[in-house]
Structure formats: C-alpha cells, structure tokens
C-alpha cells in the first residue's frame, strides 16, 4: 500500500517453534489441542516444518522475519506461585504436587505469534509511527504467561522511538482480554485509507449481547475498543464485528479460524461474524469496487470441516507482482470440502492465483495452522532498516537457525519429560545461544537472573 507517508510491505514474523514443543491439551475451544493432549510430540520436526514454511514464503519474494520461542518450562511462573528451591527442585515439586500447573508452565503456545500482538502500520496512525500492542491473552492461563516475554522481545526489535511505539499489554483483567492479531484483520486498497477489523467474542460489560454457550469467547469488545485507541487509529477506519457465537462453539476460538484477509481480499465463512451481510456492505462502502470476497456457506463447507482442515487459517500473501497466493495446511488438501473451497477462491476473479499446501502437522495437531504461526507487520523501508535485531530472514539466517535446531532439539518429547531437569538446562543453553544468533541481548528471565547473580557475586 502507498500513502503520503510512503509504501509499506507486509513482513511476516513467524514464531520459531521451541525446544519443548508438546501437546498439553490446555486450550478449551481448540478442538485439535484438546484432541491431541498428552500425545508424544517431535520438537525437532515441528521446528523444521516451521522453518521450511519461512523458507518457502521467503522464496516467493514475500518479506519474512522470525520471533524467538519462550523459555519453557516457565520456572519463573512456578516460583511466583510458591515453588521454591533450585530450578531442579521447583520442577520436581510441581510435577509431584501440581502436575496441571507444570503443564501450564510448559505450554508450547507462544509459537503462534498471530496472538503475540496487534499492529497498526505507520500510514494508518495519527502520529505516523508503527504501533504495537502485545496481547495479554488473559482468557487462557497458559497463554497469559506469554505477555511479559513477548513485550520484552518486541520492545527490543522495535526499539527506535522515531519509527515505533510498543505499548504495554492491556491490563490483565477479564474485561480487557486481548487475543492479538488472531482477531484483527487489516484491509487496504490503493487510493483508500485502510480498514481495520477488530473482532470480538463477548462483551464484559453488556451481558445482553448473545455469547457462545459451549466454548469461551476469548476477545472482549472492550479490549477491541481499547486497541483502536492505543494504536492511534481514526475511529472511522475501525470496524468491530462480533464473532459468530455458533462459530466459536464449533471451534473458531479466534477469528482467523474462519476468516482471512489481506489487501482488498477477504476469505470468510458464514459463521465467522454476526451480520456478515452488513459487514460486507460496510467494507464495500469503505474500500469501493476494489474490495473482493469469497464467502463460504455452511452447506458448501461445513463448519466442522473448516475447523478440522483450517482452510481459513491460511496465509493470504501478496507477492511482488501484486497477485495473491494462499499458504494452506496439508489437511486442507486432504479434506474435499476445504480443497473445493480453495479451488473456487483461485477460480473466482479476486486476484488469488495459486494455493500452496505445506506440511505443518506438528503445529496443526496442537491447534495452529499457517496463519497462527505468523504476525503480520506492514513496514516501510526505513522501518525495516531500523529493526533492532537480526530477525529479518535471509539465507544465512535460515541456515543458522536450521543448524541451531539440529544441535539442540529432541526428536521426541513425552509429557513425563517436562519435569526432567536436564531438559530445562538444554532449553537455557539453546535459547541463550539463539539470542546471540538473533542479536537480541538478554530478553529472557533466566538470562536476567543469571546476570543479576553475577553482579551480586562481584
């Protein structure tokens, strides 16, 4: 998109899968997560699949970047809730006394960086800076543990105040539960100001609004309104559609399970939003004839198939020639209804020229598809040059990350391994090396604690 402030190019910040990738089964409303809870995982395979996607996207000519994994087990959390002693003692006590709390402390969910933050690019904001609000992820305990490290990492990457404003997460309160970009869509066409969709699943202050009955509505209306203010967006450029309660109850815990949009294109299911027809009319008025959408009915694509195969939890990417491609999970190719819908997307005149199916089984089994693994950050050339770390992907960085995974990741990880003190030492060694590869400095609590201890020893 081009404006008087310059052109922006979308950079996809993918989450690097961590050394303790595991199937915790912690996410209520996430069908795949609950189905595979407790199964043996393969951290090395998961990380390789994620890196292969980054390489594929980069080779399409789309700008790609990487965000580091979080340290897991989260020993700082376990100490905060009363487990004491050495790190080994903390893990042993948690495993023996409160195994569920240990599972929370070992959640692999930080890999899904679509939940890391919500971003408004500089052409859209009042002060002409790129604004970032890390998500508090208050709705789920295991995800709420991510906010502090996410804020530290994003503050280090986007540290130049002339270009960036990284805000603290919203208050960690039920009324302001914020799920990040998984509930946010930016649509922009040449000649029109961008439109931002901030979807929400429940209102904390208006109980009269219809809410889902089976699964929780994670994002609140109040959080979405707060994001519009913090991101310095003009109110008339923000729409706040309600997620369809029936869609949430079917497993669409985030908007990106049943809708994906980019540029002037929106792909969506009829159970993505309440009043889909009214939303479509609003988008046509705001974006004009350039707006295109491909709408799937439940008859064409049963919501159960959409949730199982994730055709909407795909990446809709604009390539350098201006056309779009879809990066979909292999599960969408194997599901007849999902594949037929994506084939129709290509056949219709909306600018999507191809669908590419990638193997992301390790992530999919834990409930996250291609769209979950990335945070979209539209940036100007000047902003990209001011990024404060080695996170923008090029061939040598991918090679370094692939070698790092080979050195440090286990092939298999069972639930019983999570209390292994050796695993925690492996994680600290690996992540300490990773922050050097990415030139991030000390962003993890265990690094800061070690530094403080070393100062005290002097």
What is the C-alpha to C-alpha distance for residues 247 and 251, in angstroms, rounded to an integer?
6
215 included as an active-site residue: no
Assigned token pair, 66: 């990487």
254 included as an active-site residue: yes
In the block, residue with structure tokens 């985030």 = 254
Q: Which of 179, 270, 331, 383 is catalytic?
A: 179
Assigned token pair, 451: 């530094």
What is the C-alpha to C-alpha distance for residues 95 and 72, in angstroms, rounded to an integer?
14
Q: Which of 10, 215, 372, 383 is catalytic?
A: 372
Q: What are phi and psi of 250, to 5 degrees?
A: -85, -10
| Number of Cβ within a 10 Å radius of residue 98 | 16
179 included as an active-site residue: yes
In the block, residue with structure tokens 């159970």 = 271
Listed in sequence order, the residues at least 6 apart from 103 whose beta carbon sits closer than 8 Å to its beta carbon are 24, 26, 142, 415, 418
Q: What are phi and psi of 117, to 5 degrees?
A: -170, 170
What is the C-alpha to C-alpha distance for residues 197 and 216, in angstroms, rounded to an integer?
20
Q: Which of 131, 138, 184, 254 is catalytic?
A: 254
What is the C-alpha to C-alpha distance for residues 234 and 316, in angstroms, rounded to an integer?
25
CB half-sphere exposure, 351, CA atoms < 13 A: 21
Distances (CA, A) of 246 to 35, 201, 402: 20, 11, 41
| Number of Cβ within a 10 Å radius of residue 351 | 17
What is the C-alpha to C-alpha distance for residues 413 and 277, in angstroms, rounded to an integer?
46
Residues in the chain: 458
- Residues marked active site are found at 179, 254, 372
């Amino acid at each position: 998109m081009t404006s008087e402030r310059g052109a922006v190019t979308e950079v996809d910040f993918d989450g690097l899968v961590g050394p303790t990738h595991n199937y915790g089964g912690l996410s209520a409303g996430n069908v795949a997560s609950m189905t595979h809870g407790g199964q043996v995982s393969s951290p090395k395979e998961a990380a390789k699949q994620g890196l292969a996607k980054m390489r594929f996207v980069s080779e399409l000519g789309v700008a790609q970047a990487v965000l580091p994994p979080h340290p897991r087990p989260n020993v700082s959390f376990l100490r905060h809730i009363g487990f004491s002693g050495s790190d080994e003692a903390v893990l042993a006590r948690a495993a023996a006394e409160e195994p569920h709390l240990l599972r929370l402390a070992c959640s692999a969910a930080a890999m899904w960086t679509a939940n890391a933050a919500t971003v408004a690019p500089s052409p859209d904001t009042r002060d002409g800076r790129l604004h970032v609000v890390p998500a508090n992820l208050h709705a789920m305990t295991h995800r709420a543990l991510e906010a502090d490290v996410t804020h530290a990492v994003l503050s280090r990457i986007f540290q130049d105040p002339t270009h960036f404003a990284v805000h603290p997460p919203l208050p960690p309160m039920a009324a302001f539960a914020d799920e990040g970009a998984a509930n946010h869509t930016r649509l922009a066409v040449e000649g029109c100001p961008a439109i931002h969709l901030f979807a929400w699943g429940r209102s904390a202050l208006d109980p009269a609004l219809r809410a889902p009955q089976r699964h929780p509505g994670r994002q609140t209306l109040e959080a979405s309104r707060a994001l519009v203010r913090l991101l310095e967006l003009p109110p008339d450029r923000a729409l706040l559609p309600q997620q369809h309660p029936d869609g949430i109850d079917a497993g669409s815990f985030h908007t990106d399970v049943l809708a994906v949009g980019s540029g002037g294109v929106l792909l969506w299911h009829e159970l993505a939003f309440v009043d889909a027809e009214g939303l479509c009319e609003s988008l046509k008025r705001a974006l004009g004839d350039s707006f295109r959408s491909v709408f799937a009915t439940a008859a064409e694509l049963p919501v159960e198939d959409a949730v199982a195969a994730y055709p909407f939890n795909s990446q809709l990417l604009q390539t350098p020639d201006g056309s779009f491609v879809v990066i979909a999970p292999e599960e969408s190719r194997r599901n007849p209804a999902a594949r037929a819908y994506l084939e129709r997307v290509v056949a219709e005149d909306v600018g999507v020229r191809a669908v590419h199916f990638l193997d992301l089984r390790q992530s999919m089994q834990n409930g996250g598809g291609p769209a979950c693994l990335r945070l979209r950050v539209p940036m100007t050339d000047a902003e990209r040059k001011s990024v404060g770390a080695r996170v923008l992907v090029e061939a040598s960085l991918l090679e370094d990350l692939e070698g790092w995974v080979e050195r440090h990741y286990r092939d298999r990880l069972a639930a019983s391994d999570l209390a292994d003190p050796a695993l925690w030492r492996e994680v600290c060694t690996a992540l300490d090396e990773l922050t050097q590869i990415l030139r991030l400095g000390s962003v993890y609590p265990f690094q800061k604690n070690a530094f403080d201890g070393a100062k005290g020893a002097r």
